[in-house]
Chain A
Amino acid sequence: MLKYALKRILLAMVSVFVIMAIAFFSMNAIPGGPFAKEKAPEPAVQAVLEKRFNLDKPVMEQFFLYISNIFQGDFGISLKTGREISTTIFESFSISAKLGGYSILIALIMGLILGSTAALTRNKWPDQLIVFFTTLSVGMPSFVLGTLLLLVFSLILKVVPAWSIENQNYVLPIIALSLYPTAHITRLTKSSLLDVFGQDYIRTARAKGVPRIKVIVKHALRNALIPVITYIGPLTAYSLTGSMVIETIFTIGGLGTKFVTGITNQDYPMIMGTTIFLAILMVIMTLISDLLYRAVDPRISFD
């Protein structure tokens, strides 16, 4: 297990490096630049700026400078605001992490509870209610849901205030972001549990005299969790990209917003910084879900 974990961590580091390279060189290959606009600065000023951002050096050198800076926590400075990008990422990520983290947590908890309930009450009213809920949720895009929630609860009913820096109410954005994954995990858990209930080893457990509740929790749930755990990776990806949309609708200044404004401003260091940061996050989450998966299912070999 340990050997496998080390191997995976090493591999994860390689993927991060590759992502950095792709991000860096594709940014370099894009024509135009922040200083090549209509209001281009004078050549002398431009030369100073280029020297300031290492743009006068050969590309390969720029790349390795950039990488070594990142390993020291330095993502460079924004071309737009002149602020340290690492500070911007850190600040905005604390907001996004709250939104994404809670959404993932809620999706997992609610999904497991609803999915198990549906499986255990199959074809009875709780199951039917849950099926109705999941069908509805899976079909609804998060931006439509976000807008609806905002309209109903903030504007018409005025029960939850709209998001602002002073009044950071995460309830609506979290609902909007977690609804789809909740529905998805519910379905996943239900079908996986129903499949497990039909397995021979469940009959063995019952024949041993294991009480029903223990059959469900010990023998069924652990097996049923395997497909849910493999979904944690894609779930993270969804939450990261989904939060860009949700943050925009609720005007939350999170990482997603910084990424989007970075693009509109052609703020290359900002785009690269956020991209690489998100990529690292994604790689870590995939790594965690992979290790969890292997911890739960002994059939997976560690080589």
Chain B
Amino acid sequence: MNDTPLLQVKNLSTSFPTEQGVVHAVNGISFNLDIGNTLGIVGESGSGKSVTAYSILRILTDPGRITGGEIYFKGENILNYSEKEMYDFRGKKISIIFQDPMTSLNPVYTVGNQITEAILLHTDRNKKEANERALNLLELVGVNDPQKRLKQYPHELSGGMRQRVMIAIALACEPDILIADEPTTALDVTIQAQILELMQELQKKLGMAIIMITHDLGVIAEMCNEIIVMYAGRICERGTADEIFYNPCHSYTKGLLRSLPKFTKDREKLIPISGTPIDLLNMPKGCAFAPRCKDAMQICLSELPKEIPINDFHLASCWMNVKKVYDEVKEGRKNG
């Protein structure tokens, strides 16, 4: 058995030195992704999910810089790759689709041009073969009348169609990993379900691993083997979908779940997390969520919580769990 994970992110930190100061978007996150698996990354908007994705492909926009950590793909640290080596990597080994299909396609080139571009870049197919492949891809992602679509411009397609085209581009070279950065956020509810279904179907067919990024826990409930919950560029909790949904151990995750209609029996109790999201320019010393946490203790403000195993499938970084263990031990002593 080969036990190097397909993708291994170690202690990744990414920041944006701006005029107002350094924005610490991602602060030392680590996770693994195995072949064919689906990893969900959830968190409110601004928690660093997209920046994590862009870091993995090294497509950060200025002034974004990866300031620390390693990213291993099949055992090789891609942070050591030259920009030229990255050209061969992006879109071939790891592909990404974005949140807004309305703006993610180039308005002045045809759909066919934009799909074949990826094929021509990464394979030695000629133009004609690339065109055939593009046609097959459009069929694969369920675009009707693909022959006609190839010659159309993005503005002639609906949002759902465009996202399918984006998926076709991403899958053009059969990557090992597909990163989906909120692929359904900008779409109608009915289209959302279709796109998610399509992605699952394609995963079964092609066997790629998926990183599913979303701010909506509901989206990934059925899809993911493992879920990571992010806040302020850190991972606050991770585990299997069952563990995260039915045994949340971080106040932030609990808050996220409380704001989900599916997981609260009583509609009245639907409560959004109060307080404003974290100021990444001035990161607090302790837990980033502490200022908004109703259970916050003294130590939460002063010291960063470590990641503590809850069980074999579940880790959380919350002082409450330490307190719980401590209380249990104390209780045990009293009784025994």
Q: How far is the CA of A223 from the CA of B104 in the complex (A)?
A: 14
> Which residues of A sit under 8 angstroms from B88, Cβ to Cβ?
209
A222 and B108 within 8 A (CB): yes
Chain B, residues 66-99, CB within 8 Å of chain A (1/0): the string is: 0000000000000000011011111110011010
> Which residues of A sit under 8 angstroms from B105, Cβ to Cβ?
201, 204
A201 and B90 within 8 A (CB): no
> Which residues of B sit under 8 angstroms from A198, Cβ to Cβ?
61
Partner of A204, one of B92, B98, B122: B98
> Which residues of A sit under 8 angstroms from B91, Cβ to Cβ?
207-209
How far in angstroms is the closest Cβ of chain B from A198?
7
Determine, out of A55-63, A69-77, A129-137, A292-300, the stretch whose residues face the partner at the interface: A292-300
> Which residues of B sit under 8 angstroms from A51, Cβ to Cβ?
none
Q: Is the interface of A mostly helix, strand, loop or mixed?
A: helix
Q: Does A278 contact B (CB under 8 A)?
A: no
Q: Does B153 contact A (CB under 8 A)?
A: yes
> Which residues of A sit under 8 angstroms from B169, Cβ to Cβ?
204, 208
B59 and A296 within 8 A (CB): no
Partner of A208, one of B54, B100, B107, B117: B117
> Which residues of A sit under 8 angstroms from B90, Cβ to Cβ?
206-209
Given contacts A200-B103, A223-B106, A223-B108, contact A207 B96 (CB under 8 A): yes
> Which residues of B sit under 8 angstroms from A222, Cβ to Cβ?
108
Query: Most chain-B Cβ atoms within 10 A of its Cβ — which of A201, A208, A212?
Result: A208
A212 and B61 within 8 A (CB): no
A201 and B107 within 8 A (CB): yes
Q: How far is the CA of A207 from the CA of B90 in the complex (A)?
A: 6
Q: How far is the CA of A203 from the CA of B59 in the complex (A)?
A: 7
Q: Which residue of A lies closest to B100 (CB)?
A: A200
Chain A, residues 182-219, CB within 8 Å of chain B (1/0): the string is: 00000000000000001111011111111110000001
Number of chain A interface residues as a range: 20 to 34
Interface size of B in residues (CB-CB distance below 8 Å): 31
B122 and A200 within 8 A (CB): no
> Which residues of A sit under 8 angstroms from B84, Cβ to Cβ?
211
B108 and A209 within 8 A (CB): no
Query: Most chain-B Cβ atoms within 10 A of its Cβ — which of A222, A296, A298, A299?
Result: A298
> Which residues of B sit under 8 angstroms from A298, Cβ to Cβ?
107-108, 153, 155
Q: How far is the CA of A207 from the CA of B57 in the complex (A)?
A: 7
How far in angstroms is the closest Cβ of chain A from B111?
11
B122 and A209 within 8 A (CB): yes
Q: Which residue of B lies closest to A208 (CB)?
A: B91
Partner of B106, one of A201, A207, A211, A296: A201
> Which residues of A sit under 8 angstroms from B92, Cβ to Cβ?
209
Q: Which residue of A lies closest to B98 (CB)?
A: A200
Q: How far is the CA of A206 from the CA of B61 in the complex (A)?
A: 10
Q: What are 21 contact pairs spanning A and B, CB under 8 A?
A: A200-B98, A200-B103, A200-B104, A204-B105, A204-B106, A204-B169, A206-B90, A207-B95, A208-B90, A208-B91, A209-B86, A209-B89, A209-B91, A209-B122, A211-B84, A212-B83, A219-B106, A296-B108, A297-B107, A298-B153, A299-B153
Interface residues of A (CB under 8 A from B): 198-201, 203-212, 219, 222-223, 296-299
With contacts A203-B61, A207-B90 known, what are 5 further pairs, Cβ within 8 A? A203-B54, A207-B96, A209-B121, A210-B121, A222-B108
